[in-house]
Amino acid sequence: MEKVGVTPSFWAGRRVLVTGHTGFKGSWLSLWLQQLGAEVTGLSLPAASAPALFDLADVGSGIASVYADIRDQLAVARVLRETRPSVVLHLAAQALVRESYRQPLDTFSTNILGTGHVLEAVRHCDAVRAVVVVTSDKCYRNTDSGRAFIETDPLGGSDPYSSSKAAAELITEAYRASFLSSSAVGVATARAGNVIGGGDWSADRLIPDAVRAWVGGQSLMLRYPGATRPWQHVLEPLRGCLTLVEALVAQPARFSGAWNFGPAAASARTVGAVADAAALCWGGQAAVRLGSNVGEAAEAQQLQLDSSKAWEQLQWQTRWSFNETVEQTMRWYLKWHQGEPMRAFSLAQLAAYEGSAG
């Protein structure tokens, strides 16, 4: 493929189902699809935080929202039967590692059974031409070797979240091989690195924790300052997903399978380095301190993706550098803190990203 961007003519008027559309990634994706002219239906629980990007950017004004739990098989099936989407982008999930330790069964039922419900509904909807299931870079069996993972590496996970994402990968492949490949439906999984960006308010995530602390005049406490992650702006893997869908519709057999969407090795930074960069952008009295992680749930110290496959076959790579990623992220939060209208600012930031060099 020769193109490096998203094709507006492909999406204009196309029926798209986004699960998890009220979440951080789902809200940005739904906003982008609106701008592309797609007919978007969102299936999700109500936004889990207050504030939420979904509300601040008025994402719901341009799409049809269905509020239901993906663990409700009948509700999921009904949405696909009634909306008959051409594309399904499955993002709904319990997405927090620490929460998975507190609520393992909820994590398993949402991330595993919920994924099965979506794929089962797709199996009975002949309008669907492409499905992308968004999982995580944590689906790999991580031994903290520091080596970047490729798509054929073993799956695994010693915590409930990671193992649930590995299981979601296996379920997706089973549905592809057993049912959907014979119907010429493109089926893929997208494994993204650590994403940051404006509008994330999830608990136990670095940037949201930082903003909450600094708005309240407190210091940000770091649990694992030395942990290294492949940081990227949320729009990067979302562009990967949109590009992948276009490829799946054109050549489902060729492009079905697993895909890594992570930044170049140069964007890998420690948690401490990201926190310091964010504090610099925030300015004022933003401060960072080290906390004690005694008794905390264990997390891998090294995590890196090899996205050569996406670059070679989809011509995809990240556009924003590490510094620009942090600057754009913190600019969003500063504008929010200053009372700016966040739908207009979010759309402007999306336009700036689309206009940046590939």
Question: Per the omega criterion (within 30 degrees of 0), is the bond before 225 cis?
Answer: no
Sign of CA dihedral 293, 296, 297, 298: positive
Please identify every residue annotated as catalytic. Answer: 161
Residues 6+ apart with CB under 8 A from 324: none
Instruction: Give the pLDDT band of residue 303 (cuts 50, 70, 90).
Output: confident
Summarised one tens digit per residue, pLDDT across range 304-327 is 899 999 999 999 999 999 999 999
Instruction: Give the pLDDT band of residue 3 (cuts 50, 70, 90).
Output: very low
91 touches 26 (CB < 8 A) = yes
Distance CA 22, CA 298 (A): 28
Summarised one tens digit per residue, pLDDT across range 81-139 is 999 999 999 999 999 999 999 999 999 999 999 999 999 999 999 999 999 999 999 99
- H or E element that contains 65: strand 64-67
- Kindly compute the dihedral angle of the four CA atoms of residues 59, 45, 92, 17, in this order, to the nearest 10 degrees: -60
Whole-prediction pTM value?
0.95
Q: DSSP per residue over 204-242, as a string?
A: T-HHHHHHHHHHTT-PEEES-TT-EEE-EETHHHHHHHH
Which domains are assigned to the chain? 8-195+232-264+297-321 (3.40.50.720)
Distance CA 88, CA 159 (A): 28
Phi-psi region of 39 (alpha: psi -120 to 50; beta: other; left: phi over 0): beta
**Taking all residues of the chain, what is their mean pLDDT, rounded to a whole number?**
93
Instruction: Give the pLDDT band of residue 339 (cuts 50, 70, 90).
Output: very high
pLDDT at 2 over 80: no
Residue 123, classified by CB atoms within 10 Å of its CB into exposed (0-12), middle (13-18) or buried (19+), is middle
Q: DSSP per residue over 139-171, as a string?
A: GB---S--PPB-TTSPB--SSHHHHHHHHHHHH
State which amino acid sits at residue 235.
L
Closest C-alpha to 172, from 240, 88, 236, 95: 88
